[in-house]
Amino acid sequence: MTKTAKCVFLIVLLAVVSLNIAGQTRTTVERYAAGHQQEILAEFLSLLSIPNVASDKPNIRRNAEQLRQMLGQRGFAAEVLETDVNPLVYGDLRVPGAQRTILWYAHYDGQPFDPKLWKQDSPFKPILRDGRMEDGAKEIPNFASLKTVPPGARVYARSASDDKAPIIALLAAIDALRASGQKPKSNVRVILDGEEEASSAGLISSLPKYRDKYRADMMLVLDGPVHSSGKPTLVFGGRGIATLEFTVFGPKFALHSGHYGNWVPNPAMDLIQLLGSMKDENGRALVEGFYDDVPPFTPEEKRILASVPDDPAELMQFFGISRTDKVGANLQEALQYPSLNVRGLRSAYIGSEARTIIPESATASIDIRLVKETEPDRMIRRVLDHIRKQGFTIVDKPPDDSIRAKNPRIVTVSSGSGGATFAGTKAYRTAMNDPSSVEVTNVMERTWNEKPVRIRTMGGTVPMAPFAETFGFPIISVPVVNFDNNQHSENENLRLENLWKAIVTFAALLSM
Amino acid sequence: MTKTAKCVFLIVLLAVVSLNIAGQTRTTVERYAAGHQQEILAEFLSLLSIPNVASDKPNIRRNAEQLRQMLGQRGFAAEVLETDVNPLVYGDLRVPGAQRTILWYAHYDGQPFDPKLWKQDSPFKPILRDGRMEDGAKEIPNFASLKTVPPGARVYARSASDDKAPIIALLAAIDALRASGQKPKSNVRVILDGEEEASSAGLISSLPKYRDKYRADMMLVLDGPVHSSGKPTLVFGGRGIATLEFTVFGPKFALHSGHYGNWVPNPAMDLIQLLGSMKDENGRALVEGFYDDVPPFTPEEKRILASVPDDPAELMQFFGISRTDKVGANLQEALQYPSLNVRGLRSAYIGSEARTIIPESATASIDIRLVKETEPDRMIRRVLDHIRKQGFTIVDKPPDDSIRAKNPRIVTVSSGSGGATFAGTKAYRTAMNDPSSVEVTNVMERTWNEKPVRIRTMGGTVPMAPFAETFGFPIISVPVVNFDNNQHSENENLRLENLWKAIVTFAALLSM
Q: Give the pLDDT score at B461.
A: 85
Q: Give the pLDDT score at A145.
A: 81
Chain A interface mutation, best of B343, B374, B411, highest count of A Cβ atoms under 10 Å: B343
Which residue in A419, A431, A426, A423 sits closest to A474, CA to CA?
Answer: A431
Confidence of residue B355 (pLDDT cuts 50, 70, 90): confident
Signed CA dihedral, A143, A148, A153, A154: sign only: positive
Give the distance from residue B353's alpha carbon to the nearest chain A alpha carbon, in angstroms: 8
Q: Give the pLDDT score at B6.
A: 62
Closest residue, chain B, to A390 (C-alpha): B281
Confidence of residue A19 (pLDDT cuts 50, 70, 90): low
Q: Which residue has the higher pLDDT, B346 or B9?
A: B346
Yes or no, beta carbons of B327 and A357 under 8 Å apart: no
| Chain A with chain B: Cβ pairs closer than 8 A | 305
User: From the list B344, B352, B404, which residue is nearest A354 (CB)?
Assistant: B344
Considering only CB atoms, which chain A residues are within 8 Å of B250?
321
Confidence of residue B18 (pLDDT cuts 50, 70, 90): low
% of chain B residues with pLDDT over 90: 85
Q: What is the mean pLDDT of residues A221-232?
A: 93
Confidence of residue A360 (pLDDT cuts 50, 70, 90): very high
Q: Give the pLDDT score at A300.
A: 87
Q: Give the pLDDT score at B85.
A: 93
Confidence of residue A12 (pLDDT cuts 50, 70, 90): low
DSSP string, A14-51: HHHHHHHHHHHHHHHHHHHHHHTHHHHHHHHHHHHTS-
Q: Give the pLDDT score at A488.
A: 80
Q: Give the pLDDT score at B39.
A: 95
User: Is residue A411 within 8 Å of residue A395, measured between CB atoms?
Assistant: yes
Q: Give the pLDDT score at B298.
A: 94
Interior angle at CA A105, CA A101 and CA A106, nearest 5:
155
Closest residue, chain B, to A355 (C-alpha): B343
Q: Give the pLDDT score at B418.
A: 47
Q: Give the pLDDT score at A352.
A: 83
Q: What is the 3-state secondary structure (H, E, C) of B343-411?
A: EEEEEECCHHHCCCEECCEEEEEEEEEECCCCCHHHHHHHHHHHHHHCCCEEECCCCCHHHHHHCCCEE
A25 pLDDT above the threshold of 70: yes
Give the distance from residue B243's alpha carbon to the nearest chain A alpha carbon, in angstroms: 9
Yes or no, beta carbons of B266 and A342 under 8 Å apart: yes
User: From the list A243, A341, A345, which residue is nearest B261 (CB)?
Assistant: A341
Query: Is A127 touching B (CB cutoff 8 A)?
Result: no
Task: Please write the tens of the pLDDT for every residue from A77-124.
Answer: 999 999 999 999 999 999 999 999 999 999 999 999 999 999 999 999
Q: Give the pLDDT score at A418.
A: 47
Confidence of residue B419 (pLDDT cuts 50, 70, 90): very low
Cα–Cα dist A464/A458, whole Å:
13
How many residues are listed for chain A in this entry? Answer: 512
Confidence of residue B113 (pLDDT cuts 50, 70, 90): confident
Q: What is the mean pLDDT of residues A54-79?
A: 97
Confidence of residue A158 (pLDDT cuts 50, 70, 90): very high
Average pLDDT, chain A: 93
Task: Please write the tens of the pLDDT for every residue from B287-342.
Answer: 999 999 999 999 999 999 999 999 999 999 999 999 999 999 999 999 999 999 99
Confidence of residue B496 (pLDDT cuts 50, 70, 90): very high
Query: Is B323 touching A (CB cutoff 8 A)?
Result: yes
Task: Please write the tens of the pLDDT for every residue from A447-495.
Answer: 999 999 999 998 888 889 999 999 999 999 999 999 999 988 899 999 9
Q: Give the pLDDT score at A420.
A: 43
B470 pLDDT above the threshold of 90: yes
Q: Give the pLDDT score at B420.
A: 43
Report residue A472: phi and psi, to 5°: 65, 10
Yes or no, beta carbons of A262 and B354 under 8 Å apart: no
How many residues are listed for chain B in this entry? Answer: 512
Cα B296 off chain centre by:
25
Closest residue, chain B, to A53 (C-alpha): B353
Name residues 224-283 of chain A within 8 A of B (Cβ): 238-239, 241, 243, 245, 250-253, 255-266, 268-269, 271-273, 275-276, 279, 281, 283
Give the distance from residue A352's alpha carbon to the nearest chain B alpha carbon, in angstroms: 7
Q: Give the pLDDT score at A422.
A: 60
Signed CA dihedral, B309, B313, B315, B318: sign only: negative
Q: What is the mean pLDDT of residues B429-454?
A: 96
Confidence of residue B423 (pLDDT cuts 50, 70, 90): low
User: Is residue B87 within 8 Å of residue B64, measured between CB atoms?
Assistant: yes
Q: What is the 3-state secondary structure (H, E, C) of B72-83?
A: HHCCCEEEEECC
Task: Please write the tens of the pLDDT for every residue from B384-398.
Answer: 999 999 999 999 999
Yes or no, beta carbons of B460 and A276 under 8 Å apart: no
Alpha-carbon torsion angle B449, B505, B475, B299, nearest 10: 20
Task: Please write the tens of the pLDDT for every residue from A269-281.
Answer: 999 999 999 999 9
Cα A350 off chain centre by:
33
Alpha-carbon torsion angle A91, A93, A98, A101, nearest 10: 0
Cα–Cα dist A157/A486, whole Å:
10
Chain B interface mutation, best of A277, A325, A343, highest count of B Cβ atoms under 10 Å: A343
Query: Is B114 touching A (CB cutoff 8 A)?
Result: no
Q: What is the mean pLDDT of residues B74-88?
A: 97
Q: Which residues contact B136 (CB under 8 A, 6 or more apart)?
A: none
User: From the list B322, B344, B354, which residue is nearest A350 (CB)?
Assistant: B344
Q: Give the pLDDT score at A209.
A: 95
Q: Give the pLDDT score at B21.
A: 60
Give alpha helix (H) positions in B186-311. Answer: 201-205, 211-214, 257-260, 267-276, 299-307
Which residue in A48, A232, A66, A256 sits closest to A156, CA to CA?
Answer: A48
Region of residue B193 (left: phi > 0; alpha: psi -120 to 50; beta: else): beta
Task: Kindly list the distances between the CA atom of residue A70 and the CA atoms of A50, A63, A81, A153, B249, in Å, as whole numbers in the listed order.
Answer: 14, 11, 15, 25, 44
Query: Is B343 touching A (CB cutoff 8 A)?
Result: yes
